[in-house]
A and B are shown apart, each in its own frame.
Chain A
Amino acid sequence: MNALAAFAEEFVKGKIRVVDLTQTLSPEFPNISLPPEMGQAWPFRIEEVSRYDERGPAWYWNNFSCGEHTGTHFDAPVHWISGKDLPNNATDSIPPERFIGPAFVLDCSPEAAKDADFLLTRQHILDWEKQHGRISPKSWVLMRTDWSKRHDPVEYQNYDEEGQHTPGPDVDAVQFLVAERDILGFGTESIGTDAGQAYHLRPPYPCHYYMHGAGRYGLQCLTNLDQLPPTGAVVFAAPLKIRNGSGSPLRVLALIHG
């Protein structure tokens, strides 16, 4: 029996579980907010078309609107200026095999609980690898912070007069993961793969800058990372096939053993 058939058999038997890493799309879910004078991404909004009523007697359906970067979403390289000229850099041109990959889950939840501006460093990654093994190429690195457990939008967004305070990778960590681990992409539980105060790093927003500049991807607003093992999960993250899309909301699923 080939690997795929074996997988299918194990899956049907329930030996392989699915963990949903996706937040529900609803108008309440916090949306990215840029300074007022800039263009804004739409929050998720949904308008009923009919609900078994005079507008449509036997059916219920809605129209919805949102930005490409609303809710749990995928960032394509074309999203950032550093990736704008790369080949196959949009949601419709990324080779589909890139939408599946093993996941390495780095638990930073204790550090994030103490410091909302926690920055993941190269040293943190090397220390993690000492325990769990080397991060393999073409894989997702997911930064678990348990940020998704902040159900109050105010706490999730975590703003003060200086802006947003959420954890993320520092410049060196990103460069390391790209140059020395050849990863597929970086995923976080907060809005943004970069830390909330990453505007003040040099360059600003290093995760976007270097990941997308190297033709890699991002995943944001993930949840249930605490249900994944540090290694061994396989993540399916296929964005909508939007022509020249910079990203899209999507369903991110992880397969784990048992």
Chain B
Amino acid sequence: MASAPVQRSLDRPKRKNPVLRTRLPTLPPAARSRVALGLTAAAALGRFELQQCGECGMVQYPPRESCQSCLSVNLIWKIQKPEGELLAQTVLHHSNDLFFRERLPWRLGLVKLDCGPTVVAHLHEAVEQRVRVRAMLDRAGQAVIAALPSKESSDMADDRQLREFTCDPKQRKVLVTDGKTGLGQALVKALAKAGADIIWVGHSEPWKKFAGFEDLQKLPQVTLLPLDVTDSKNVREAAAEIAGKVDILVNNAEHHRSSGIGNRQGVETARAEMDVNYFGLLRLAQEFGPAMRSRGADGKASAVAWVNLLSIYAHANFPPHGTFSASKAAAHSLAQCLRAEMRPAGVRVVNVFPGPIDDEWNQLLPPPKLAPDTLARGILGALREGVEDVYPGDVAQEWLARWRDNPKALERELSA
């Protein structure tokens, strides 16, 4: 019945024909009621949640204001078992919606979830009767449900439709703004392993050597790029050179010192933190943003994501690293602004909020600390799944839970 051709593997995109106009980005329907944004909030974190009645336990879908069984308004968003039965499927050959019109034919399925409701879902090409579902952010940044094969396979992410919603670095071109740090190097290696075509590796102060950095040049995908995010002219020139090709920008440039207010005289350190962590983001966004926005729908390897290395301290100030925390909070707010500006182009702004990374500036913090490799893997995973708010590691997960539960309590706990 379904006649869309089955893709065996991801075909390498051809070189772009410079004679043709670049297709402009369109978005799937973005309107949602406020209550439906509960699905989006969970999908942003990579969770599949539906409302469940606090009185009678019935799981609800579509999202609503009162229980469809007992009328209680005590509906709580809870993680649900993401499995179900594929009842029927269709292939759209016609759509009034510009986004889908440009991407026909498009597969959809009707799934009866084990937890109760029947849902309309985007359908992976390799599904069978039993499916796994996932709440994903679509190109408009809104949650949609995708039905995937119940068994994970190595090329599952290559599904044409799935790639429309994820930010998979495979066959894409990536800029890592600071390749010198442990995390930067781990990111570059992980991106190469994930199949990125080109990895530009930004680095500043070239006279300062760091172990392992030279090794990066041996990777065939890597091109070193002088990049100092405190230098507007440098950022502009780097963008002039490569912004028209960057599909994913990973801004991991960071200035981190371990001081609060009273234990460091003068504003110089805090200024430097702001200049890299906040103004650096602003400069990059101004210079790289326009080109990336124009390429949100540029063929198979389009501009898809902007990753910001923030910190769990962005939500709640960690006083021993107080000025650093403040700079990350500033960067977070600006990243939300960037997210709104990138949204019309379908470019996802991914904010990463790790707890302490196992590096020199966190030397005095007790474990658990995040190894750069682990953090890099977490970021790659977020790109592959299309998640936009990432809390990697135990500390980040715990602080997130505490902050959501009672932010004032966390503030007190951190100032103990």
Contacts and interface: CB of A to CB of B under 8 A. Distances in A.
A touching B, CB within 8 angstroms: yes
Interface of A: 27-28, 30, 33, 36-37, 39-40, 43, 45-48, 153-154, 156-161
A25 B228 CA distance: 17
A157 B232 contact: no
Contacts, number: 38
B231 A45 contact: yes
A153 B206 CA distance: 7
A39 B266 CA distance: 9
Given A27-B233, A47-B232, A153 B268 contact: no
A45 B208 contact: no
A46 B233 contact: yes
Contacts of B360: 36
B233 A39 contact: no
A47 B360 CA distance: 32
B269 interface: yes
A39 B207 contact: no
B205 interface: yes
A159 B209 contact: yes
Nearest to B269: A39
B272 interface: yes
A37 B230 CA distance: 19
Given A47-B232, A153-B207, A156-B207, 12 more contacts: A27-B231, A30-B207, A33-B205, A39-B268, A43-B230, A45-B231, A45-B232, A46-B233, A154-B206, A157-B207, A159-B208, A160-B209
A85 B93 CA distance: 85
B208 A33 contact: yes
Contact of B207 (A36, A45, A158, A161): A158
Nearest to A31: B205
Contacts of A156: 207
Interface in B218-240: 228, 230-234
A157 B209 CA distance: 12
A40 B272 contact: yes
A254 to B, nearest CB: 29
Given A27-B231, A27-B233, A47-B232, A154 B269 contact: no
Contacts of B205: 33
Interface of B: 205-209, 228, 230-234, 257, 266, 268-269, 272, 360
Nearest to B264: A39
Contacts of B233: 27, 46
Contacts of A45: 230-232
A47 B232 CA distance: 7
Contacts of B209: 159-161
Nearest to A44: B231
A48 B232 CA distance: 9
24 contacts: A27-B228, A27-B232, A27-B233, A27-B234, A28-B234, A33-B205, A33-B208, A37-B257, A39-B268, A39-B269, A40-B272, A43-B230, A43-B231, A45-B230, A45-B231, A46-B232, A47-B232, A48-B232, A154-B207, A156-B207, A157-B207, A159-B208, A159-B209, A160-B209
Nearest to A152: B206
Contacts of A30: 207
A160 B214 CA distance: 14
Contacts of B268: 39-40
B229 to A, nearest CB: 11
A160 B234 CA distance: 25
Nearest to B258: A37
Nearest to B211: A161
A186 to B, nearest CB: 24
A157 B204 CA distance: 13
Contacts of A46: 232-233
Contacts of A157: 207
A28 B237 CA distance: 12
A40 B275 CA distance: 13
A39 B270 CA distance: 11
Q: Nearest 4 A-B pairs (CB), nearest first?
A: A157-B207, A27-B231, A159-B207, A154-B207
Nearest to B265: A39
Q: Which of A43, A48, A156, A158 has the most CB of B within 10 A?
A: A43
A40 B271 CA distance: 11
B19 to A, nearest CB: 32
A192 B191 CA distance: 41
A241 B20 CA distance: 59
A6 to B, nearest CB: 45
B161 to A, nearest CB: 43
Nearest to B266: A39
A34 B56 CA distance: 65
A37 B255 CA distance: 12
Contacts of B208: 33, 159
Contacts of B234: 27-28
A158 B206 CA distance: 10
A167 to B, nearest CB: 17
B178 to A, nearest CB: 14
Contacts of B266: 39
A221 to B, nearest CB: 15
A55 to B, nearest CB: 14
A27 B204 CA distance: 12
A37 B360 CA distance: 11
